[in-house]
Amino acid sequence: MCEGFGYTSGWGENMTGNGGQIRVRILSEKGLGAIRLDQKPGSFYVLTLPEGAPEGSGDMFLKGMEDGRNAPPFFLEDPLPEGLGRSEIKAYGKTVLEKCLDEMVPELQKKLGIPHVCYSLDCPGKAFGLCSRDGLIRLNPCLVWMRRDVLREAVLHEMNHLLMQSEDQLFTEHPPAFWENLTMLEPMWPYLEGWMRGRRRAGRKHGICV
Ligand SMILES: [Zn+2]
C-alpha cells in the first residue's frame, strides 16, 4: 500500500471503510511527519474515518498523505520563474492560485447549480476552507502549494456544505450524508484530503503553511 505506513495486525481490511478506525504503524522515514512531526518509526496513529466514507477510503487517505508529504515543493503546474525570493514566490503563487480559482469556482458553481458563490483567500487558522450561508468560500492561501486536483477537491468540499445546508446544520458539521454526497461529486476525496494534510506537514517544515 504505502512505504511509510502499514496497518497493524488485527485490524483487517474491513476497518478501512465506513466510519471505521485504522491503527496505523509508522514504518519508515517516508511516513514520518505526515501525522505528527515528533513521531518516530514504529510508533502508532489511529485514523478515524468519517461515517459515510466509502469502502477503501482509509487506504486512499494514507496513500494521499504520504504522496502529499513527499511531493516536490510546488504543486504549480507552470514552472516557477527563476531567481525569486521567498516573499516573491508567495506573491507569485497567490497570483497563480487566483487565476486558477477564477476559472474553477464559477465552473463548479454552474455544474452544481448553486445560485451564488464567491471566494476569498483569507481562511483563518488551520482550516483549509470555510464557507458561510451567503455563499462565501474562504480558502487557505496555503492551498497554492497543493495540486490542482487537490485544490478542486477543497472547493468541492466547501460547495458541498452549501448544497447540504439546512436550517439546523452548521457549516462546520460533517454528517454521514455530507461524505456520501461528496463521494458522488469526487470519489477520490479521501486521497485528495489525505494529500492536503500530508502536504501541509511538509509546508510547515518550509515555513509555508500554518
Ligand atoms: Zn467541511
For residues 180 and 91, give the distance between their C-alpha atoms in angstroms, rounded to a whole number: 37
Helix (H) or strand (E) holding 26: strand 21-26
Q: Encode the chain (210 residues) as per-residue pLDDT tens digits.
A: 445 555 443 333 434 444 555 666 555 555 444 444 455 666 666 677 778 888 778 778 888 888 887 777 655 556 667 777 777 777 777 888 899 999 999 999 999 999 999 999 988 877 889 998 889 999 988 887 788 899 999 999 999 999 988 766 667 788 889 999 999 999 999 999 988 888 877 666 666 665
Domain range list for the chain: 1-70, 81-210
Q: What class, spelled out in words, does domain 81-210 have in CATH?
A: alpha beta
Q: How remote is the CA of residue 170 from the centroid of ligand 1, in Å?
A: 10
For residues 170 and 28, give the distance between their C-alpha atoms in angstroms, rounded to a whole number: 39
Nearest 5°: CA angle at 82, between 80 and 87? 75
Q: How remote is the CA of residue 174 from the centroid of ligand 1, in Å?
A: 6
Q: How remote is the CA of residue 183 from the centroid of ligand 1, in Å?
A: 13
